[in-house]
Structure 1
Amino acid sequence: MPKDLLLAFYGDDFTGSADLIMQYQRFGLDSVLFLGAPDQGELEAAAETHAVIGIAGVTRAMEPEAIRAQLIPALEQLAQLNPDFLLYKVCSTADSSPTVGSFEPAITWGQHLMCGAPVPVLVAQPNLGRYTVFSNHFAVDRGNVHRLDRQSIMTNHPVTPMKEADLRLHIELQLGMPVYGVDILALADVEQGQQRYAHALDDGASAIVLDSLTEDDLRRAGELVLRNTQDVQGFGVGSGGFGIGIASALGRKASARPDNIDASSGPVLAVSGSCSSLTSDQIEYAQRGGWHTIALDSSGSDSNWALEIQSAALEARREIQAGRSVILYTCGADSPRKARPVSVTKIADGLARAVRYCRESTDLGRVLVAGGDTSGYVVTALRARAMVTIGTVSGLTLAFRLQSDDLVTDGLEIVLKGGQIGGEDFFEAVRTGQTQLAR
């Protein structure tokens, strides 16, 4: 490759893929994010001019066989580029289970790629308040750090509730094979860290969990992984923190984060399929600040849902034309969806129809999509083929301009928000380009 560095990844959802792009941009690495299934020629052409090649998927919401069918061909395409490192990007809260969003297909494939060596797993991401210590994972929620199986958002997750904070045990349930770890103390000592890694290899571990509490830990973890994958195609499973670790281990220096986006030229439309309590708090905060909110009941029949979306889109159009920002949401504090899971594709298709209608019938220029799973399906339904970065929101997530085959949505500014991202004023920050509150 003409470039002196090439990193590649497949993201299990769109919000996480956007986050990884942002982390790599901190290191001055030009990136391109493909949506859907690019052909090999597109990937090879992009690799000539970019240091990072990413494909955004929706495997986090899939069952294992569906994951295998979508993920493995994409990883094989990316591996053909001979990148310096290949990552399966997953959420920094390790959202997964044996039946939905399982890491097993990626880890099994990765072991084959690396001639049977254990696949490194690093989901810590300190800049988002995600930490792993002695293989136990922790997450910040409203300023307090909780073990993941005691953090209310994750223990009550509607699809993959977290019942075990020890990532070794959590992943073993998905693999049915032993998972080892390199703890924070071993990581701080090069020789001891190497011994732990070699022990996992000698014992036939399928995966190895890496601790990290700081960005220095991420760098040390990245160095350890690169030392142990010199003779094979390096591959791992992890969050944007893994990307930070690899980039810094390769000698790249992080710079200031990209600029925040400018204020929107008009009202913003937000659509949310997130059931996170943080997102609910953000919606309530926006409502108090003057946003018009429309609660949607997605628990009924498909025909009722279609009527619900039609009515909400008409109401949203009136409010946008009157100069008010609008939120359509399917999961609030008293939502029927809390007790009755609903297909994410059903929700996303409806929300995408509302976005398209408002874009076509008003001067709507900016949209926020909340929900890690929802975001990918909404963007896909909008027929986007690529996204170009235009800035960040509070330094927490990127804002994009859509490149779409649909002339109505082509050029639309869009922000994709995971359920646990941002402070209470996040929606307002998307509108104004500024934030006053910490996450």
Structure 2
Amino acid sequence: MADIVFCADDFTGASDTLATLARAGKSARLYLSPPRISDHPEIAGLDAIGVATSLRALSVKDGINRMNELVAGLSGAGGKIHHFKICSTFDSSPRIGNIAQVADCFAKGINAHWQAIIGGQPSLGRYCVFGNLFAAASNGTIHRIDRHPVMRTHPVTPMAEADLRQHLNAQGWPDVGLIDVTLIRRGARALTAEIQNRMAAGETHTLFDAAENHDLEIIGQALRAIAVNTKILCIGASSVAQALTASNRANDTPPIKTAPAPIPQRNGPVFAFAGSRSPLTAQQVAATRHLHKIEITPGNLMDPTGFADMTKACMDVLADGKHLLATLGDDAAHGIGGHELAKASARFIANVITQTRIGFLAIAGGDTSSLAVLELPIDSLSFVEDFDRGVPVIRAHGSDPQLDGLEMILKGGQMGQTDIFDQVVNRTETGSRTR
């Protein structure tokens, strides 16, 4: 059975964790619901399995109910270490996408009495120092998360607190301990002893700083040592997978890199949908030159006639073999909640691509990506190759020949180079990226 079992609260981050494991030489597959080995015999040969969800968009009650279902379904999957994969920016709130209460539900289900919270992902420009989270903006400038130009104004879960202990306290964890960089940099042996002392004293939730990749290597060694005798749940971004698979000891066997899967000959145009409100996504849309653009308003998505008309407009463009970028217009007067808008966008994407054969799917927007993939008749995703930082190419698997083998990128609003949509077209047309 798998050594690592992870549950992700959205699809963009789940695909990044999948890629992180694959880069480390781990065989891994991402499922849309807890897999049964009778239906998926490939599970027996996997090092890691994950389930991708839309938990970050759910209320506390719905999130707990969904996590109970997931844990019950994963009961036979094994797992020396379990990972609750969350966004690297920790954007969440007491009401929507509550990390603490859903993680507690996960921990209870696997009988884990201690939870390790990894507070940074340096590879993506996310740094946790003395318990405070910092994140790089699209121009590379690093901001405290509550002063970040995007995250402080996130449309659903704006970040108003940089101290992750205080942020998680508001969600139900009043006594989160902190292991800061000065403790981590004493080395893995000292860190392991510190964790054991904390656990013996009754500490149940511990936040770890992470300011550079070497911090993750040390954390990973300590977590693996603790996991020999103790069931643990790790909470954090793909940095958790990076830590658990890191190798910096002389007697470690270097990981065998997983070769990129060959790009199959799949005919059809690119269909891209930009539902993110991020300024970077707006720049990426404006920079696109190789895709036909259609703007869809929130009103179009909520009105049956408008929905049908815009579906037909998109299908007509794709049927002509043209690459298409559908963008969600910013109509501030629409009065539609962010989650409802993401669900409507997801239904729209699924409606288009289940009726029109495409060669590649690209979605910008975390909630939109999660909900859109859940609308599709597929059952799992596998890693193909890296595409951009934090944006891997993944491949869909399922019984529907229209979608089986479809490759895609699921891009968070703050991820990717400015010309990412044109690079998708280049990859589809030439089988490689040029930069």
- For Structure 1 versus Structure 2, the TM-score category normalised by the shorter chain is 0.7 to 0.9
Tell me the SS of whatever aligns to 2:307: helix
Cα deviation code 1:13-45 (max 9, x no counterpart): 1111111010011111011111124336457x4
Q: 1:38 to 1:216 in 2, by over 3 A?
A: same
Q: CA deviation at 1:205?
A: 3.8
Q: Secondary structure at the match of 1:84?
A: strand
Given the superposition, is the C-alpha separation of residues 396 and 293 from structure 1 closer, same or farther in structure 2, using an over 3 Å criterion? same
Corresponding residue for residue 240 of structure 2: 242
For the Cα contact (< 8 Å) 2:290–2:425, is it kept in 1? Answer: no
Q: 1:147 to 1:259 in 2, by over 3 A?
A: farther
Unmatched segments (≥5 aa) in structure 1: none
Q: 1:151 aligns with which of 127, 148, 152?
A: 148
Cα shift at 1:405: 3.9
Match of 2:20 among 19, 23, 29: 23
Question: Does the CA contact (< 8 Å) of 1:107 and 1:237 recur in 2?
Answer: yes
Counterpart of 2:78 (choices 76, 82, 85) is 82
Counterpart check, 1:297 vs 2:291: no
Question: What CA distance in whole angstroms lies between the structure 2 residues aligned with 1:296 and 1:9?
Answer: 35
CA shift, 1:260, in A, is 9.7
Per-residue deviation, residues 228-273 of structure 1 (Å, max 9, x unmatched): 3332222211110011101116956457686598698653110122
Is the counterpart of residue 65 in structure 1 residue 57 in structure 2? no
Residue of 135, 138, 143 corresponding to 2:134:
138
Which of 21, 25, 31 pairs up with 1:34? Answer: 31
What is the deviation of 1:280?
A: 1.5
- State the Cα distance separating 1:84 from its structure 2 match: 2.1
State the partner residue of 1:392: 386
Q: How does 1:311-326 map to 2 (within 5 A)?
A: 311-326=309-324
Q: How many residues align?
A: 424
| Secondary structure class of the residue paired with 1:86 | strand
Counterpart residue number, 2:125: 129
Do 2:111 and 2:231's aligned partners in 1 also have CA atoms closer than 8 Å?
no
TM superposition shift of 1:111: 5.0
The one-letter code matched in structure 1 to 2:311 is A
- Going from structure 1 to structure 2, the CA distance change for 1:214 and 1:284 (only over 3 Å counts) comes to same
Per-residue displacement from partner, 1:100-158 (whole Å, max 9, x unpaired)? 11112343235546867431111421111111111111111121111111111111111
- Cα 1:386–1:76 change in 2 (3 A) is same
Using the alignment, how far apart are the partners of 1:421 and 1:324 within structure 2? 25
Change (3 A) 1:48 1:318: closer
13-22 vs 293-302, greater mean Cα deviation? 293-302
Residue in structure 2 matching 1:7, options 4, 8, 11: 4
- Asked whether 1:53 is paired with 2:10, we answer no
Alpha-carbon distance in structure 1 between the residues aligned to 2:130 and 2:16: 25
Normalising by structure 1, what TM-score?
Answer: 0.87
1:119–1:207: 8 Å Cα contact kept in structure 2?
yes
**Could you list the runs of 5+ residues in structure 2 that have no partner in the other structure?**
none
Tell me: CA distance 1:187–1:254, structure 2 relative to 1, closer, same or farther (3 Å).
same
Residue 206 (structure 2) pairs with residue 208 (structure 1): yes
SS of the residue corresponding to residue 8 of structure 1 reads: strand
The separation in 2 between residues aligned to 1:295 and 1:73, in whole angstroms, is 38
Contact between 1:226 and 1:234, CA under 8 Å: does it hold in 2? no
Verify the 8 A CA contact 1:258 1:395 in the aligned structure 2: no
Q: Residues 254-265 of structure 1 correspond to what in structure 2 (within 5 A)?
A: 259=260
The one-letter code matched in structure 2 to 1:276 is S
1:285 counterpart = 2:287: yes
8 Å contact kept, 1:299–1:342: no
Per the TM alignment, residue 417 of structure 1 is displaced from its structure 2 partner at its CA by 1.1
AA partner of residue 317 (structure 2): E
Residue identity opposite 2:272 in structure 1 = A
- Does the CA contact (< 8 Å) of 1:177 and 1:206 recur in 2? no
Q: Tell whether 2:424 aligns with 1:430.
A: yes
Q: The residue matched to 1:410 in structure 2 has which SS? A: coil
Report the alpha carbon displacement of residue 397 of structure 1 after superposing the two structures with TM. 2.1
SS at match of 2:227: coil
Question: 1:336–1:419: structure 2 CA closer, same or farther, 3 Å change rule?
Answer: farther
Identical counterparts, % of pairs:
25
